[in-house]
Structure 1
Amino acid sequence: MLKKQIAESLEQAFSELGFAEPSVAQLKNACGVSLRTLYKHYPSKEAMIVAALEHRHQRYLRFLLEDSPSAGTDAVLHIFSQLNQWMNDFAPNGCMSMNAIAAFPEHKLILQTVQQHKEAVRNFLGEQSLRTGLATQLFLLHESVSCTWPLLGEQATDAAKQTISSLFKEG
């Protein structure tokens, strides 16, 4: 249970402070544990980042499904409404996963964790749409919203939802 609480606190800390800036001492304080306890569960800053990303991944997918219609066009539009809310509430500086790669571009485990997250989101979008052939297109729209959010805000989500409506009308 403590390990999960630490991962949750790490997610919050990295979301607020970024990846390059916070020291392990700052992360320890954010988690409210001793340095020994933090290192017992996560023996390096990179391990802390992976834990934060994995925790965020699970929380993100649960968030996207909150109050969702079962599947199809309405479900996908709902997911993008949820994405809008997520970006507004939890990711005003853009995608945390991509920010992790920007800070640690050569770290294989961080890269692998982000790749797994992104692939899971792509598959999730295909499943929820009931049109697995559109999974990549929907994923690209999802990524566009999360990357352009700091510049465009809700305009990015609105444009993505218009494109989704067009995609589903065509097919």
Structure 2
Amino acid sequence: MTPDTMTKISAGLETAFARHGFATPSVEDLRDAASVSLRTLYKYLPSRADMVLAALQHRHQRYLAHLFDGLPPNTAPDTTPETALTHLIRRVGSWMQTETAHGCLFHGAVAADPQNQALKDLLQRHKAEVAQRAASVSSLEGHELALLQIFEGLTQTWALHPEASIKTAEHLAGLLQAAKDQART
């Protein structure tokens, strides 16, 4: 398995599932989205479940890169844990604006195949890693669940209230930071 071929397939599948959902695309549609032959598609990913997992694993890596790559370090002169969290919230908003306005693709995959334990495990790993990394850059270790709820609320309300959802998430993050700061004193 060559990494370039697998990346190409996974990227194409991610795009197809994000645009059309998990039930609609036929195998031929998925083959076309992956830009490979049906034989190659099945060689790398022998089942539809494998295709969904590969697409979501690819999306997981892209999402982490979008949120955390190039984030100003807390050691930068004008960067505090609060501003790092604000940057993250705005990056979630920009992801929603450019990638999807329909909520979380990971939740959509689990909803489409609720008995698939591998999908549930990937959803849990994805959310945990985002929350853990967000807590680390914002100095909110121990508040991962609260951060996850802020991010999840943002992604779920985005379709109805794009700008207001960002402002609300920033406000809630500020309250969380203030509560943490107050608990230390």
Segment of structure 1 superposing worse, 151-160 or 42-51: 151-160
Distance between the aligned counterparts of 2:163 and 2:69, measured in 1? 19
Segment of structure 1 superposing worse, 133-142 or 53-62: 133-142
Q: Which has the bigger relative contact order, CA under 8 A and spacing at least 6?
A: 1
Higher helix share: 1
Report how far residue 68 of structure 1 moved: 1.7
Distance between the aligned counterparts of 2:100 and 2:146, measured in 1? 22
Report how far residue 53 of structure 1 moved: 0.5
Answer yes or no: is 1:3 the counterpart of 2:12.
Answer: no
2:26 counterpart residue number:
23
1:64 counterpart residue number:
67
Moved over 4 A (4+): none
Can you list the C-alpha shifts for 1:111-143, whole angstroms capped at 9, x where unaligned?
Answer: 111111111111111111112022211111001
Letter in structure 1 aligned against 2:34: C
Count of residues in correspondence between the two structures: 171
Can you list the C-alpha shifts for 1:43-88, whole angstroms capped at 9, x where unaligned?
Answer: 1111001001100011101101244221411111100000000001
Report how far residue 165 of structure 1 moved: 1.4
Q: CA RMSD in A?
A: 1.1
Answer yes or no: is 1:90 the counterpart of 2:93.
Answer: no
2:87 counterpart residue number:
78
Q: Is the 8 A contact 2:72 2:84 kept in 1?
A: yes
Higher alpha-carbon Rg? 2
Distance between the aligned counterparts of 1:100 and 1:148, measured in 2? 19
2:77 counterpart residue number:
none
Which consecutive unaligned segments of at least 5 residues does structure 1 have?
none
Letter in structure 2 aligned against 1:85: S
Report how far residue 109 of structure 1 moved: 1.1
Report how far residue 151 of structure 1 moved: 1.9
Letter in structure 2 aligned against 1:50: L
Which consecutive unaligned segments of at least 5 residues does structure 2 have?
75-80
Distance between the aligned counterparts of 1:115 and 1:139, measured in 2? 11
Superposition pairs of residues 17-166 of structure 1, within 5 angstroms: 17-71=20-74, 72-166=81-175
Letter in structure 2 aligned against 1:145: L
3-state SS of paired residue (2:24): coil
Report how far residue 154 of structure 1 moved: 2.2
